[in-house]
Homo-oligomer: A and B are copies of this chain.
Amino acid sequence: MERAILAFAALAQPTRLDVFRLLMVHEPDGLPAGEIARRMDVPHNTMSSHLAILARAGLIEAERRSRLIIYRARLEAVRALASFLVKDCCGGRPEICAPLIAELSPCCPPQKFAAEELAHD
């Protein structure tokens, strides 16, 4: 709940939302702080505070690699946030958001498709 507020606040800022999307695209390798700042055309110290806010919200994580600090998106956080949104909507009455799940599924194949893929092996 408090975690959701932090996550929403972190994503409610254009630069940070862009950074988050960028790191999503660069999963699972991540990107160093400096390169993120360069790509976004933002001073490195400004970017540093944005990255800190995203990290505090649990949406990204940092890992030091010699001189570089690599940032990566935390997929569990996306899952948790989407889950919060959807379960919030359910509110004890699953019939309301069945169509919601239905619309989400075509985007990424759900477990049925994953199972099929496993069967191919």
Contacts and interface: CB of A to CB of B under 8 A. Distances in A.
B110 A102 contact: yes
A102 B83 contact: no
Interface residues of A, number: 51
Interface string A91-111: 111111111111111011111
Contact of A102 (B14, B85, B94, B114): B114
A111 B102 contact: yes
B91 A78 contact: no
A108 B83 CA distance: 10
Interface stretch (A2-10, A29-37, A43-51): A2-10
Interface string A56-96: 00000000000000000101001101110111111111111
Given A24-B88, A91-B24, A78 B102 contact: no
A19 interface: no
